[in-house]
Amino acid sequence: MLSERMQTAINKQINAELYSSYLYLSMASYFESVDLSGCASWMYAQTQEEIVHAMKMYDYVNEAGGRVILDAIDKPQEAWDSPLAVFEHAYKHEQLVTSLINDLMNLAIEEKDHATQIFLQWFVSEQVEEEASASGVVNRLKLAGDHGLFMVDKELGQRAMPIPLPEKK
């Protein structure tokens, strides 16, 4: 059974994951408005991935005998100065999420909650990929400059969100 502190912390993280999804959807909308459909597609996939993360945590809290309490989702930013600024924001956001996941892991360690530590290990590893993915796009956009933006946009349009299979119980 989850402690009250752990349950509250994971509930906050569920909200953070849903906010992440909302933020990436806002970024997708921005890209659609400036006719960069490949960048928008990348962000749509990211939006879906964040919902998957929130639902993994949602399911875990319920399976561990806790109660999910949903909170309001903050309004995300809606405009940026450039496509590069959007991806730099996404990268900084992923760094923030990494710190939040690390805080959750630290709490699980402090509470000697071994089951939650094992559960969170997937998210710790996932954040390495999340940061690398966003950082990689930032680096490609910087290398490509304004003239290469459309090539990068086309490349990003190839990303697809894999549909996760339901876990067997």
54-96 pLDDT per residue, tens: 999 999 999 999 999 999 999 999 999 999 999 999 999 999 9
* Residues 142 and 84: beta-carbon distance below 8 Å: yes
- The helix (run of H) or strand (run of E) holding residue 138 is helix 114-156
What CATH number belongs to 4-156?
1.20.1260.10
Indicate the pTM of the whole model: 0.87
* Residues 116 and 2: beta-carbon distance below 8 Å: yes
pLDDT at 31 over 80: yes
Q: What is the mean pLDDT of residues 21-39?
A: 95
Mean pLDDT of the chain, nearest integer:
91
pLDDT at 137 over 70: yes
Q: Where are the domains of the chain?
A: 4-156
